[in-house]
Amino acid sequence: MAFSDKSLNDLAKNVFSDKYEFVKGPVQVKGNSGKSWTFDAVVKNKLNTFGVFIRDWKREISITQLRQLHKACIDTSIQGGIMVCNVITDFSRDYSSQFGLQLLSRGHLISTLRRRKFQNNF
């Protein structure tokens, strides 16, 4: 199966599980406010935990989704947020960088996996 045929969940798992612990969701985390937040996945390393929202939509990612991810990270013990989606606009990229969120597109994930495959062949 080609990388382009895989779901965003599978692509994200392949990219992150190479170096980090990837916990496939839904992962429920209770916030300081008492609200329960649901992450599609959680990525952990020795020091930090990152919440992941995966939005496999045909349209561009909305600012509302980025705000939700930011709120979820602030309210919980999650140190950072990663949004994985199909289409990224310049406005959403600017917004995510302003709030310290990582924004990854399908193309970026596929490019990362192809580069790793190419490097491992040598």
Per residue in 8-36, pLDDT (tens digit) is 888 889 888 888 898 887 989 898 898 99
More confidently predicted of 115 and 66: 66
Number of domain units in the chain: 1
Q: Does some domain include residue 122?
A: no
Percent of the chain with pLDDT over 90: 27
Distances (CA, A) of 113 to 15, 54, 58: 6, 17, 22
Q: Does some domain include residue 53?
A: no
Q: What's the mean pLDDT when you consider all of the chain?
A: 86
More confidently predicted of 37 and 58: 37
Residue 122: the pLDDT is 45
Q: Does some domain include residue 67?
A: yes
Interhelix angle 63-75/90-98, nearest 10 degrees? 20
Distances (CA, A) of 6 to 3, 14, 33, 74, 75: 5, 10, 37, 31, 32
Q: What is the domain range of residue 14? A: 1-38+62-104
Q: Does some domain include residue 71?
A: yes
Q: Does some domain include residue 120?
A: no
Q: Does some domain include residue 25?
A: yes
pTM of the model as a whole: 0.84
